[in-house]
A and B are shown apart, each in its own frame.
Chain A
Amino acid sequence: MSALDELAGIDRVIHEPVRLMVMTVLYAVPEADFVYLQNECSLTQGNLSSHLARLEEAGYVAVEKTFKGKYPLTLCKLTSKGRKAFEEYARIMRAATESVARKKP
């Protein structure tokens, strides 16, 4: 299967721009809370909530309600499935980009 053919089967859960932003941030750190993600991705509460729910449903993100002192935290972290899916997504995109660059006249 060529690199461009692989693009057809790309993970559409991650491919959505907002979810890709969230996955990128969560891939870089062990865990982050809801407010941090909201600031980092410049999203509204509702928007982030719905995308997090979609990622959680796919099994890519684990969401846990906890406390740091008295401050309530909604902690989010990538699951191992999510981490692998993100790496696979990155590999396919890299291969496609390199393939296009090689074919450039």
Chain B
Amino acid sequence: MADIQVEVDQAARRAGDYWEIDGLPSLALACGYLLMGPIFFWWWNTHAIRRHVWLWAASLLIIIAYVFLVGLRTSPVMRWLKARITYPRTGYVAAPPSKSAEAAKLKQQDWDRHPDNWMLATWGLPGLFDEPWVGAVLLMVATSILWGTTRGKFPSAAILLPGFYLTAIVMAFVPVAPEERMGCWTVAWGLVYLLAGTIQLVRFLRRHPVVHA
């Protein structure tokens, strides 16, 4: 009977992972990074933020609006896309309740295996050091930890992990000022997620034709 609990946990895990099956969350994240990158780049490159504080507030507002409109599970754009792309093909399942003990346990385990968490942990670091290779090494370390803890068992790992390494290597040699580096890295991650999400979405559409229940 302990096996039934294992089966329940696994069903909850699959339902939790189901949200990312189609690559849409990666594409939403990619668009978010590609939106934020130029904003950061422009902030620091033009020093506009020092002259006009309202620009900072407006940019922040754009980012927050994007997160609520597109990025979150409950966001209207994401629900609209899922209803047209995912549910007709592989069905709909609600995420396991976040207040349950099982969900809390799964959430804790998920932190390690989710690439965004590790990447966000290194996000602002490239801009703190004069030498570009320091940020690159930190990103490589974060990617290696991610690889070590997950063994690559998360959606699009085969694209994201090499993508992060490649980004680190390229950025180590790109001659940009430290204050501009954060914007460049954000755009680079956006491109990596864009590639990963697109490939995942194309694979999903090919493997799952529309089902008429």
Contacts and interface: CB of A to CB of B under 8 A. Distances in A.
B62 to A, nearest CB: 26
Nearest to A31: B94
A36 B83 contact: no
Contact of A90 (B5, B12, B89): B5
A68 B4 contact: no
A70 to B, nearest CB: 7
Contact residues of B: prevailing secondary structure:
helix
A70 B90 CA distance: 16
Contact of A29 (B4, B15, B213): B15
Nearest to A90: B4
Contacts of A90: 1, 4-5
A24 B8 contact: yes
B83 to A, nearest CB: 3
Nearest to B1: A94
Nearest to A93: B1
B14 interface: yes
Contact of A36 (B2, B4, B82, B91): B91
B79 A29 contact: no
B79 A28 contact: no
A94 B93 CA distance: 28
A42 interface: no
Interface residues on B, range: 20 to 34
Interface residues of A, number: 34
Given A29-B93, A30-B94, A35-B90, A45 B213 contact: yes
Contact of A97 (B1, B11, B94): B1
Interface string A80-94: 000000000011111
Interface string A20-50: 0000110111111111111110000100000
Interface string B65-83: 0000000000000011011
A69 interface: yes
B97 interface: yes
A18 interface: no
B211 interface: yes
A25 B9 CA distance: 9
Nearest to B92: A33
A73 interface: yes
Given A24-B11, A29-B15, A36 B1 contact: no
11 contacts: A24-B4, A27-B8, A28-B8, A28-B15, A29-B12, A29-B96, A32-B94, A38-B211, A71-B83, A75-B92, A90-B1
Interface of A: 24-25, 27-40, 45, 68-75, 90-98
